[in-house]
């Protein structure tokens, strides 16, 4: 399970806590590191430009997997509605050490999986090393395959399930260099569809075909928004080297699964009221020393309404409580 925990109340007191917003906005007007943005891997591939107030990015598949990322305050699955918008201006893009096209990517990932030594984006469907738990926009430059010929540029909204299943669509369309593209990537849980809208220099661009997950697609768990420079390790034919800038990034997600919390006495027992969301399991935990936490019995499935969690056997000494939300 993916877990989100919040420590919130001292035994015998009442409080209310609001945590996690539904929107993350980043215009790079000041140092994004001050707002929780981080770099992983080849960190020199990402550079904040203080003068132009944007993020300069190099996508180089000859390097190790590298990410410029921000953790979400939640875990997203196919039962959630969420979206991502950003501006992208490519300065140059081409194949690199191999003549086949490899992707540049921006989207959502599962950070623990994407940073594992076995993660190979270029492996595709592969039980051993193939990618898992991704929702992203992939763009491939023009390329060439010996024995086949030229390959046109293509754009592919893509979702990858926890069991390495793929849902994607390839539109033969070019993101021309030095033009300003605004990308909107929206996932709707009601029809399990990834919808993409793009403008170029303010004018409509596309259209881009929707991507539906399909009846055999499993589920995904993503917890991070990220600008991804993937390694082409595991791909014997493709590569990419690109430079560009990313700006005006907006992430929309459901609010934190533990959003509003209040504690109070009721009939001589300590109880907690917590706002809940569907597809989450809520557990009250207790500690007396902040060294070990005990999960109390009576976990409750989220319903979209307030839940009551209760300690029916509170210790005589002071205790501290927190709510844990698990994503099954």
Q: How far apart are CA 203 and CA 197, in angstroms?
A: 11
> Do residues 301 and 170 share a domain?
no
> Do residues 145 and 200 share a domain?
yes
pLDDT score for 1: 53
- Domain boundary (252, 274, 302) is at 252
CATH of the domain at 219: 2.60.120.560
Output the furthest CA–CA distance in the chain (Å, rounded): 79
> Do residues 83 and 189 share a domain?
yes
Residuewise pLDDT in 10s, the chain (328 residues): 555 444 344 333 333 333 434 789 999 999 999 999 999 999 999 999 999 999 999 999 999 999 999 999 899 999 999 999 999 999 999 999 999 999 999 999 999 999 999 999 999 999 999 999 999 999 999 999 999 999 999 999 999 999 999 999 999 999 999 999 999 999 999 999 999 999 999 999 999 999 999 999 999 999 999 999 999 999 999 999 999 999 999 999 987 788 788 888 887 777 888 888 888 899 999 998 889 999 999 899 998 888 999 888 888 778 888 898 888 8
> Do residues 245 and 269 share a domain?
no
Q: How far apart are CA 71 and CA 109, in angstroms?
A: 10
> Do residues 261 and 124 share a domain?
no
> Do residues 46 and 129 share a domain?
yes
Q: How far apart are CA 263 and CA 319, in angstroms?
A: 13
> Do residues 305 and 276 share a domain?
yes
Structure tokens at 236: 């014997």
Residues 279, 327: contact at Cβ < 8 Å?
yes
Determine phi and psi for 104, rounding to 5 degrees.
Answer: -100, 155
pTM for this prediction: 0.86
**Tens-place pLDDT, residues 208-220:** 999 999 999 999 9
> Do residues 229 and 266 share a domain?
no
- Domain boundary (218, 252, 286) is at 252
Half-sphere exposure of 83 (CA within 13 A, CB side): 14
Range of the domain at 314: 2-19+256-327
Half-sphere exposure of 166 (CA within 13 A, CB side): 16
212, with CB counted inside 10 A (0-12, 13-18, 19+), is middle
> Do residues 76 and 99 share a domain?
yes
pLDDT score for 181: 98
> Do residues 138 and 240 share a domain?
yes
Determine phi and psi for 122, rounding to 5 degrees.
Answer: -80, -5
**Tens-place pLDDT, residues 15-39:** 333 343 478 999 999 999 999 999 9
Domain count, the chain: 2
> Do residues 136 and 204 share a domain?
yes
Half-sphere exposure of 125 (CA within 13 A, CB side): 4
pLDDT score for 279: 85
> Do residues 159 and 294 share a domain?
no
pLDDT score for 264: 82
196 Cβ contact list (under 8 Å, min separation 6): 137, 155, 157, 183, 184, 185, 186, 206, 208, 210, 211
- Domain boundary (220, 252, 284) is at 252
CATH of the domain at 299: 2.60.40
Q: How far apart are CA 158 and CA 160, in angstroms?
A: 7
């Amino acid at each position: 399970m993916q877990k989100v925990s919040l420590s919130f109340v001292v035994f015998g007191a009442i409080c209310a806590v609001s945590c996690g917003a539904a929107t993350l906005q980043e215009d790079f007007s000041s140092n994004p590191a001050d707002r929780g943005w981080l770099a992983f891997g080849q960190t020199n591939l990402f550079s904040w430009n203080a003068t132009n107030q944007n993020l300069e990015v190099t996508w180089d598949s000859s390097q190790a997997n590298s990410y410029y990322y921000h953790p979400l305050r939640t875990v997203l699955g196919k039962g959630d509605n969420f979206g991502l918008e950003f501006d992208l201006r490519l300065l140059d893009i081409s194949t690199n050490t191999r003549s086949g096209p490899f992707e540049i990517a921006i989207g959502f990932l599962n950070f623990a999986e994407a940073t594992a030594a076995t993660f190979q984006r270029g492996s595709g469907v592969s039980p051993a090393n193939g990618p898992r738990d991704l929702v992203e926009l992939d763009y491939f430059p023009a390329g060439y395959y010996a024995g086949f010929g030229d390959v046109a540029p293509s754009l592919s909204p893509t979702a990858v399930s926890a069991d390495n299943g793929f849902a994607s669509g390839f539109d033969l369309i070019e993101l021309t260099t030095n033009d300003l593209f605004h990308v909107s990537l929206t996932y709707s849980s009601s029809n399990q569809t990834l919808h993409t809208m793009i403008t170029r220099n303010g004018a409509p661009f596309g259209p881009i075909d929707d991507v539906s997950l399909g009846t055999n697609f499993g589920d995904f768990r993503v917890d991070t928004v990220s600008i991804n420079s993937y390694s082409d390790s595991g791909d014997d034919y493709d590569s990419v080297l690109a430079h560009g800038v990313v700006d005006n990034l907006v992430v929309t997600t459901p609010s934190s699964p533990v959003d509003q919390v209040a504690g109070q006495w009721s009939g001589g027992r300590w109880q907690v009221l917590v706002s809940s969301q569907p597809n989450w399991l809520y557990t009250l935990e207790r500690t007396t020393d902040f060294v070990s936490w005990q999960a109390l019995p009576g976990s409750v499935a989220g319903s979209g309404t307030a839940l009551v969690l209760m300690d029916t056997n509170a210790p005589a000494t002071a205790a501290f409580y927190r709510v844990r939300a698990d994503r099954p």
